[in-house]
Amino acid sequence: MSNEEYDAENDAENDEFDDGPDETYAPGEGIRLQKVLAAAGLGSRRACEELIDEGRVTVDGKTVREQGMRVDPDTAIITIDGSRLPTRAGMVYLVLNKPVGVVSTMSDPEGRPCVGDYVQDRTERLFHVGRLDTDTEGLILLTNDGELANRLTHPKYGVPKIYFADIPGPIPRDLSRTLKAGVELDDGLAKADKFRMVGQSGARIQVEIEIHEGRNHIVRRMFEAVGHPVSRLVRVQIGSVNMGNLGPGRLRHLTTHEVSALLTASEDIKPPPRKKAPGEARKKAAASRKDVGAPAVRKAKAERNAASAEKKAAAKKAAPRKAAPKGAVLKGTAPRKSGSRRPEAGGDDWRDGSSSRPTKRSAPAKRSGPSDRGAPAKRSAPSDRRSGPSDRGA
């Protein structure tokens, strides 16, 4: 059953949601989202409303759960379960199985058969996505969607392309490794993403090769560089679009799923992951395990340390201060130099620069012991102060 037949069968149950024709709408208002989804071939409007209720639809990166939202199908980026939905009005996506001898152009001034001959009855301005050599056959895309065409052909998006090739046998065991490691061509290194043998016919070997580049004659030049020139080359797939059983010179429309897959693939292509050094994965995993719960552990440890510090400070403050033992030097004070004396109580401190210097005290007299009885008394130590002029003749 076609999408049109499916929608017609469900028109009766969806009449209550009909808000008029979709062909025209006021700028800034848009069309109801469920109608846009239904027009894209996702089913009836009732089924599309269920997709919205389930949170499977996003518009411009935001999940939509409310009915009645209006969008501009020409500019809105709508995804279903993460896959981009083609909603631009008037977009055409075709697959052509290009025969050998057909030029990959929309017209040819020399009158040779060209791709444009197969769509000359269409009114849309179509163009081919990429090229195939004249002697190469197979899948080529035709569309009027310039954005998609650019994404599929630009090297940075790396959309894969698969070819079947006939090459002379036998082939060496390490041919796959050689092609994946890269073959040096006159315009740089060319690598295969995948390679495998698929069959044999006499002395000819049928192989499958996948690449993501689009340089001229790249597949043929790669096989010629390794000593296996190609006698027949067929492109069978671009991204997720496969040629299938489409006959030479035949056309078909891409399905909504195929267009969505191409749009999604051309947006999600990422550079290959960096090869990790030996042991790097183990170190990263160990660090990850170590970091699990680390913030909570650090917080608990900090709280314990703070509580312990407070407890010690309180205990130190509450404890009575012990008197320092005689002769001990208190912490934070410098020891007294030998021979220095403190100033007399109430006297001037000669250390602060005053002119008055304390007088030295006389040494205490020795007490007379038994051995000193009858001995003459010792003379007192002379005063340090010398007699001045006023003392003469005293």
Does the annotation mark 384 as catalytic? Answer: no
| Separation of alpha carbons 38 and 45, rounded Å | 6
Is the distance from CB of 65 to CB of 55 less than 8 angstroms? yes
DSSP letter string, 159-206: --EEEEEEEES---TTHHHHHHH-EEETTEEE--SEEEEEEEETTEEE
Q: What are phi and psi of 135, to 5 degrees?
A: -95, 10
* Strand segments (E) across the chain: 31-32, 57-59, 62-63, 70-71, 78-80, 83-85, 93-98, 127-129, 137-143, 161-168, 183-185, 188-190, 194-201, 204-211, 232-238, 241-242, 251-253
Q: Which amino acid, one-letter code, is at 169? A: G
For the chain, state the CA radius of gyration: 49
Which one from 72, 133, 135, 193 is the annotated catalytic residue?
A: 133
Please count the other Cβ atoms lying within 10 Å of the Cβ belonging to residue 251.
13
Catalytic sites, residue numbers = 133
